[in-house]
Structure 1
Amino acid sequence: MSESLLPAVPPGTAVHPSKPDQPTSVDGPSAATARAGAQRVIPLRHPGRWIGSAVALVLLAQLLHGLATNPFYQWGRFQYWFLRPVVVDGLGVTLEVTAYSAVLGLAGGILLALARLSRSPVLRAISWVYIWLFRSVPLIVVLLFLFNFSALYRTLSLGVPFGPGLLQFSEAKLASATVVAVIGLSLNEAAYAAEVVRAGLLSVDQGQHEAAAALGLPRRYQFARIVFPQALRAVIPSYVNQLIGLVKSTSLVFYVSLLDLFGTVQNMGSTYPGDIVPLLLVATVWYVLLTSAVSIVQFYVERYYSRGALRTLPPTPLQRLRAGLSALRARIRREAAL
């Protein structure tokens, strides 16, 4: 009786367990694969993502429309001031102060970090006090104190400690506005760079130190060729953040009578009160361009020092663009074939 209830199955066919009424061919796997390849795969829809993207694009379009059509911004005056020689000179001062301060600040930070990690309790204590002090005092206070340093010490001398001075010179003649700005920014930057470098050195695996020591390498060579290059992978992202902050901190040197980019804009805004908004936009755009350039350099430096730590290097923006265009062309060909 049970056999008579089963449906008639032609020879050479097999019945799927879950669907006994739908026979398939014996060579089912190949036929199923062919049918699956012929079917079009529909990706999962994400309506929330599309709605969020649409809202963001609408808000961005409104912002750009307001910037372009609002006469308050005076884009004609912005174009007039953007490349004026006085503004370009102020930009040059900003770049000069930033470059000197970045190099001196990083060098001082490396020395302070090594002192913090030293076995000497005196060096550790001095480094800790320096970092604690300059991270506690605002930068503007440091700059103003250095600017008025000649009121405390009119002359400086070199000679025997606690003894007679052999060479004396006037502090007021040496400490120009540029020197005061560079020294103040470098002293402040070194305190923050020291902690960034120390964190990078501590991130290097202890086995690297032990392996270098086991090879009998001098400590100076261990640091310069083995430890520090590996620490740079952790130092670079954090220090670039400090460097971007340094670019913007140069706007404070206006208070020590140095006309950098921001100081020039402030000075021109006082002379031409009607152009204060376009002048501020000029300073804003230049600062954005400077920080963007630093970010681009950061990407390539990180990519360089990531060799040996990553199996494949991250693609450059140009490589990503080429890959995106290739994927788009391949998708268009698939759509046309269907």
Structure 2
Amino acid sequence: MSTKPKFEIVRRRNPGRWVSSVFLLLITLALIDQVRQNKIFHFKTVAEYIVDPRILTGVGITLYITFAAMIIGLVLGAVVALMRLSTNPVMRITSSGFIWVFRGTPTLVQLIFWFNIAIIFPTITLGIPGFAPIFSLPTNRVMTGLLAALLGLGLNEGAYMAEIVRAGILSVDTGQREAAKALGLTPRLTLMRVILPQALRVIIPPAGNQFISLLKASSLVSVIAAGDLLTETTRIYNDNFRILELLVVASLWYLVLTTLANIAQHFLEKRVSRGFAGVRPQRQRSTATQGALAASRGQLSTSPKEI
């Protein structure tokens, strides 16, 4: 009766990993200790203002601006993407120009431009040329900080979403369109029931990233006093001069909101990817596999010579 030799399993030692971990831990503890011993930074101020009504109002306005601008961006992006995929050269050139302008200029510049649009158009007039205006209103009364924020962020987001939607539509195989056409579906039904449901799997991940970026970029509207989270934070620390403490409060809220957005994006991606999990591109079968399949179907004939 033979006895098999027993080999002892020894874990591989990683001294570098332990050294780097201890080094990073010591640095983290040193930073925490420095902050704790700092007598200028008041943690009580952070705890006091974290749920301040003005801060909560700013959080609400930030969410409103983000969701509204994202909806504008989604609708506008879908329209511009379809224009860019159109066979009409005028639509293609117009959509390309829109994307070129709003992707090529800084978001902050666009916000300031819309906030000061009254310099170019002092009044908003509705009427027929050559006749008395039916409706006229000073632009400054309409173009508030909030509206300028929605226009600036919404149009900017529309340019980015147009490219995302276009990439999602192009990712769907052309055979799907041909099959839908063979079934007698109209181009609109093909787009709504065949193309877009499959394109969502490609559109959702970058669109979720754009939403998170937009949530953070909404802080830019503080330069036009749109009443967002950073605007309210600035107003408070201009009164009590606790700049760092209030900035920490704003940062904590942005972290909470982006974390919730990340969680929502994860579950949304999981939902739209149902039915695609584990699907891989079809590869060319090997000769042995083809032969086995043919034999199972009774299509493989063997003769004595071949054997």
What TM-score do you get using the length of structure 2 for normalisation? 0.82
In structure 2, the partner of 1:281 is 248
Counterparts of 1:174-193 in structure 2, within 5 Å, are 174-193=142-161
Letter of the 2:32 partner, please give it.
L
Distance 1:59 1:165 in 2: 72
In structure 2, the partner of 1:3 is none
Residue 130 to residue 71, structure 1, CA distance change in 2 (3 Å): same
In structure 2, the partner of 1:335 is none
Distance 1:213 1:178 in 2: 45
In structure 2, the partner of 1:202 is 170
Counterparts of 1:118-267 in structure 2, within 5 Å, are 118-159=86-127, 164=131, 167-170=134-137, 171-267=139-235
SS of residue paired to 1:157: strand
Gaps of 5+ in 2: 280-307
| CA shift for structure 1 position 266 | 1.2
Residue 67 to residue 110, structure 1, CA distance change in 2 (3 Å): farther
Distance 2:15 2:177 in 1: 53
In structure 2, the partner of 1:73 is 41
Report if aligned partners of 2:146, 2:227 keep a CA contact under 8 Å in 1: no
Distance 1:298 1:54 in 2: 34
| CA shift for structure 1 position 68 | 3.7
In structure 2, the partner of 1:55 is 23
Report if aligned partners of 2:99, 2:160 keep a CA contact under 8 Å in 1: yes
Distance 1:208 1:71 in 2: 66
SS of residue paired to 1:72: coil
Letter of the 2:238 partner, please give it.
S
| CA shift for structure 1 position 256 | 1.8
In structure 2, the partner of 1:21 is none
| CA shift for structure 1 position 173 | 2.9
Q: Percent identity?
A: 37
Once superposed, which parts of structure 1, at least 4 consecutive aligned residues long, lie more than 4 Å away? Answer: 162-166
The one of 101, 115, 119 equivalent to 2:69 is 101
State how many pairs are aligned.
278
RMSD after superposition: 2.3
CA deviation vs aligned residue, 1:42-64 (integer Å, no higher than 9, x gap): 44343333333333333333333
Work out whether 1:298 is the aligned partner of 2:265: yes
- Which shows bigger deviation, 120-129 or 145-154? 145-154
Letter of the 1:292 partner, please give it.
T
What TM-score do you get using the length of structure 1 for normalisation? 0.75
CA deviation vs aligned residue, 1:238-289 (integer Å, no higher than 9, x gap): 222221221122122122232211111111111111x111001111111111
Distance 2:59 2:221 in 1: 13
- Which shows bigger deviation, 218-227 or 105-114? 218-227
Distance 2:34 2:172 in 1: 50
SS of residue paired to 1:96: helix
Gaps of 5+ in 1: 1-24, 313-338
SS of residue paired to 2:134: strand
Distance 2:222 2:60 in 1: 14
